Structure 1
Amino acid sequence: MKNNIQPKTDYLRLYGELKNERVSWLSAWKDLCAYLAPTRGFFDGQTPNRGRRLDHKTLLDSDPCLAVEILSAGMMSGLTSPARSWFDLGLTPRELEKCPGVREWLGEIKRCLEEAFSASNVYSTLHTFYQEIAVFGTAAFLLEEDPQKGIRCRPFTIGEYSLGTDALGRVNRFGREFFLTAPQMQESFGLKNLPPAIRQEAAQNRPARYHKILHLIFPNPEFSKECLDNRHMAYSSVYLTETGHLLRQSGYREFPVIAARWEVKQSADAYGRGPGWKCLGDVKMLQKMQKAKLVALDKNTNPPVMVSANVQGEVNLLPGGITRYNGTTDAAVKPAYQVQADLSSLENAISSVRSTIRSQFFADVFLMLSAQNYSNMTAAEVAERHQEKMLILGPVLERLKNELLDPLIDRAFALLDRQGFLPPAPESVQGLKMKVEYVSLIARAQKAAGLAALVQGINYAATLSAACPKVAERVDYNRALEEGLSSLGVAPALLKDSEK
């Protein structure tokens, strides 16, 4: 992109390119929205602040939507629960944590981050984020600073934004369109920055009409570490009208959009595919089977009839109704054909399809303790099965760690630090990179899978030491204790120093 950017050419062209890249995805998103997330999605032609009519002729069975809710709730409680700690902070190398005041500083930083997450709308945004990524395979939100609470999120739904990636497949470009009235535009951008027509509309205080606003975030070609103004930051942020009138131009030091994909088929894909893509055919089949069952029930209880020509007036099919009839031989009203629907087999088939859909959304993983009978198992066996099922989510969680959790904590730390919400770092750790370790329920379950190998190794060494006592001297039990407690999610701060 040229250094001397012309809004009506380069900005609109960039937004058009981002929008064209997502065209082939729109039909699948609309299909997923209709069958799995009827309250989500915002596509071209929709009007803001208007309720969308739900198609209850399509959604006859709500079980797929329930499976989505179970997955999003399970990811929320198991990965980023607001009720318990889900991350720890450390330094690399780890020995530096033993420096005076470092552990206390790390604990204070963690407390400030957790308080900022709780005070802001981070957790409510994450819940909708998990819903979006489960159904559509892609989810995104904008993380910005807030003078009162430190940070705040602006969640997005599928269809209202576009993404672009760099050569490594990382999301580094973002475009969206949203709607504001003239008074809202005046409040957001200032009266002098509005086009003449909208400026006049704002002066007349006419809030009924909405205007489309385009927002672009992209790598700044004029980035300079020496210049501190927002025009020379790492990422440019541009607001303009759909006609190309520039409303505001600013920048970000880090990429402010947290965008994650469930699964990426090719590194060049800007969007991902999730469980909703895999089971959409099953969901459509389930709705069709429910419709067939309802039709069979209706015909069984209210079958089509044949009416004799001798019937006087209309046939009264109500309970206790009387239909008058002149004749002695033929029946006045009789069924046109016998309906003998095998409702039991149909219900079994529906249950099988429901089970398949729930498995695609990992509902059996998150509900296993309540859905299965563990009365004949020990606590260790239950924990082992729990860990095995959690390993199924391993590849997905690794991607979410790289595209959701790491950027979220890095961006939140930078915003809070620049606003003075964080304590200053000790001199001994100035310039060092902070290490984030995740200790959520899911992360702990995955780490605990490696604890069994550690325990087996220690037991094997103990068995050999009975025959050769020198074997025990080669085992570093202090290090084994640290590794084992780390796998269980126990904070390292609870351990005394080896010297003590």
Structure 2
Amino acid sequence: MKPTTDSNPARDQAPDPTTGPTTGPAPDLARDLIRRQESLAAERGNLDQLWQEIADLVLPLRADFTHLRQPGEKRAQKIFDGTAGQAAENLAAGLWGLITNAANDWFTLRADLAEEEETAETKLWLDEVTRRMRASFAGNGQRFYARVMELYADLVTFGTGIFYVEEVPETGRIHYSCRHLSECFIAENARDEVDTLFRRFQFTARQAVSRWGEACHPALQRAAEKEPDRRFAFLHAVMPREAGGMEGRAMSAHDAETPFVSHYVDVEHGLLLASGFYHEFPYQVPRWSTATRGLYGDSPAMLALPDIKMLNAMSKTTIIAAQKSVDPPLLAVDEVAVRGLRTHPGGIIYGGLDENGRRRYEPLQAGGNIGLGLELEEQRREAVRQAFYFSLLLMVQQPNQTATEVLARQEEKLRLMGPHLGRIQAEFLDPLIRRQFGIMRRANQLPPPPRQLQARGVRIEYVSPLARAQRAGEGAAIVRALEALAPIGAVKPEIYDNIDADAAARALTQSFGAPNHLLRSKAAVADLRAAAAPPPGNPADAVDAAGATYATDATDAGAALLEAMTGGAA
């Protein structure tokens, strides 16, 4: 990500992808795009069936892969135990709170420079740009934070999520949305990066005419007048410019420099409605993991699917057994004997006793072991919870832990989340923030960069709770090293000369996630110490005084350093 001083909106702002030029071989291009989307859809047919099965048991509100459900239709008929759905929602909410929490700073911008090389102007510019970008994410009624929760739910359930960031020139706002995975079909480039996406969706006739106007087919315009709520299928295709079918089409020199091309197609009439360009790929497509080496990701729900299916089957059986135990069937001589039998509460069963006072009807006691069923169910529930990292998200609920124990637990638990956090950062957060930065820069919403950054790049540093926890291992190592040195330091205090206290203090402070402005620069520390130093005297006297008090000072300094860094844990 590279800042620039050229912020001419007429040149930096790409045309709205819905209103770009449409001259050229539109019919052939439209049919080619429709055929490619159908080919991508056919290739993932087996995945759609798997996602439908997972959605039916874990996320029924998104169960629209193999067939389109009507609004208000019942969706939870196959669920007899809600453990999987609750665990998935808990993990999604945990990712929201640990990665992109609206109440915390979760990213900051840094220069591609050493800390001591940064000028005050550069630091102020980075802080101001970071502040404005955070405010933009929080703007428009916290829309980003509301939509990103849907992305995390798709990510942990299906293994792949689709997020869309669109600039709206009319309002100056940025529109965020989580696209349904059933609508989207992706392709990768030679570097295994998703750079092509086809989204097949539905608009009403009224929505289509409102968006594309006279570019719509005459039949669609007539439908907008007579049947405005009738739905039609449309296609949005975004791909690299060299593969976008724009050869021979009119475009400005500025448009020719944009790396991605966009097409909207009326599928029913095979009509190209609009074409345009994007400066950045507008879709972010994070994947939980790609262990199966497929195009789409794998998810915790896929790993836990056998346990989820078994748990639902066992719960159904236990429910039936419990119902039989509480309201057992009756034993009778024949069918005629039970006609008119009143089994409701307070009912009188006439003829229920014979002339000798013995019961004519007896309940059937099958003797099933409901307790065993409940015990087996709990084992499957625990397996499902662990697949969704349930224990990891409950670490904060373990009281009475020292700082050392907290660091050790975080290092152990979060080692499992490391690969997934790295993939989320690389495939979602990095392109998201770069897209946000580009949109705001083209809209003149960012201050001009300082001279020092005009030839250098800007990198993204994540400071969310989960990112800080991933770096906590370094702090834990420092604490453990100091604890191990304490017994030796009590006997031989000069060993503390091997430790750079300033470097240890900086590393430990950063590993705990303290704000960056809390640390003084190295130059400021040197100036502060120079001002506090005593005036120079007789060097010989200073050497004698230092020799006389070395052991005491070293012991006190080592103990103080250890206590400060471990919080008194030693």
TM-score (norm 2): 0.79
Percent identical pairs in the alignment equals 28
In 1, the alpha carbon distance for the partners of 2:277 and 2:127 equals 31
Question: 1:262 corresponds to which residue?
Answer: 288
Residue 105 of structure 1 is matched in structure 2 by 125
Deviates more, 1:298-307 or 1:413-422: 298-307
Rounded Cα–Cα distance in structure 2 between residues aligned with 1:417 and 1:205 = 44
Alignment-derived partner of residue 85 in structure 1: 105
Residues 322, 47 of structure 1: CA spacing in aligned structure 2 closer, same or farther, 3 A cutoff? closer
Q: Distance in 1 between matches of 2:504 and 2:402?
A: 25
Unaligned 5+ segments in structure 2 are: 1-23, 525-570
- 1:145 counterpart SS class: strand
Deviation at 1:152? 1.8
Q: Quote how far apart the aligned CAs of 1:100 are.
A: 3.2
In structure 2, which of residues 402, 413, 416 is the aligned counterpart of residue 392 of structure 1?
A: 416
Equivalent in the alignment of 2:218: 196
State the alpha-carbon separation in 2 of the partners of residues 293 and 125 from structure 1: 38
1:378 matched residue in structure 2:
402
User: Against the structure 1 CA distance between its residues 92 and 461, is the aligned structure 2 distance closer, same or farther, given a 3 Å change threshold?
Assistant: farther
Structure 1 counterpart of 2:34: 12
Name 1:361's counterpart in structure 2.
Answer: 388
Q: Pick closer, same or farther for the CA change 1:299–1:427 going to 2, 3 Å.
A: same
Does structure 2 conserve the Cα–Cα contact (< 8 Å) formed by 1:89 and 1:436? yes
Query: Do structure 1's residue 281 and structure 2's residue 301 form an aligned pair?
Result: no
The TM-score with structure 1 as length reference comes to 0.90
Match of 2:85 in 1: 65
The one-letter amino acid of 2:505's match is L
The structure with the larger Rg is 2
- Residue 30 of structure 1: aligned partner: 52
- Taking structure 1 as reference, are residues 496 and 301 closer, same or farther at Cα in structure 2, changes over 3 Å only? closer
Task: Give deviations 1:437-487, integer Å, cap 9, x for gaps.
Answer: 111111111111121223445677885798595x76665433333322222
Q: CA deviation at 1:234?
A: 0.8
The answer for the alignment partner of 2:210 in structure 1 is 187
Q: 1:445 to 1:414 in 2, by over 3 A?
A: same
**Structure 1's 206 and 230: CA in aligned 2 closer, same or farther, altered over 3 A?**
farther
**Equivalent residue letter for 1:211:** F
Which of 159, 166, 171 is the equivalent residue of 2:194?
171
Deviation readout 1:123-167 (Å, 9 max, x if unpaired): 111111111010100001111113446422121122111111111
Give 1:51's aligned residue: 72
User: What letter is aligned with 1:361?
Assistant: F
Q: Give the deviation of 1:110 after TM superposition.
A: 0.7
Residue matched to 1:321: 347
Whether the 8 Å contact between 2:107 and 2:461 is mirrored in structure 1 is: yes
Residues 222 and 228 of structure 1, relative CA distance in 2, 3 Å threshold: farther
Q: Distance in 1 between matches of 2:116 and 2:235?
A: 47
Q: Determine if the alignment matches structure 1 residue 114 to structure 2 residue 172.
A: no
Q: 1:292 aligns with which of 317, 321, 340?
A: 317
- Once residues 340 and 441 of structure 1 are traced to their aligned partners in structure 2, the CA distance between those partners, rounded to angstroms, is 52
SS in 1 for 2:238: strand
Contact 2:160–2:297 under 8 Å retained in 1? yes
SS in 2 for 1:254: coil
1:494 aligns with 2:518: yes
Q: Render the CA deviation track for 1:6-47: whole Å, top value 9, x for unaligned.
A: 324422232223222322211100001100000114335426
Counterpart contact for 1:41–1:157, Cα < 8 Å: no
Does the Cα contact within 8 Å between 2:87 and 2:388 map onto a contact in 1? yes
1:265 to partner: Cα distance:
2.4
Q: Tell me if 1:248 matches 2:274.
A: yes
The alpha carbon displacement at 1:388 in A equals 2.1
Cα pair distance change 1:222/1:311, threshold 3 Å: closer
Alpha carbons of structure 1 residues 4 and 431: separation in structure 2 relative to 1, 3 Å: farther
Stretch deviating more after TM superposition (275-284 or 235-244)? 235-244
Which blocks of at least 5 consecutive residues in structure 1 are unaligned? none
> Matches of 1:266 and 1:4 in 2, distance apart?
40
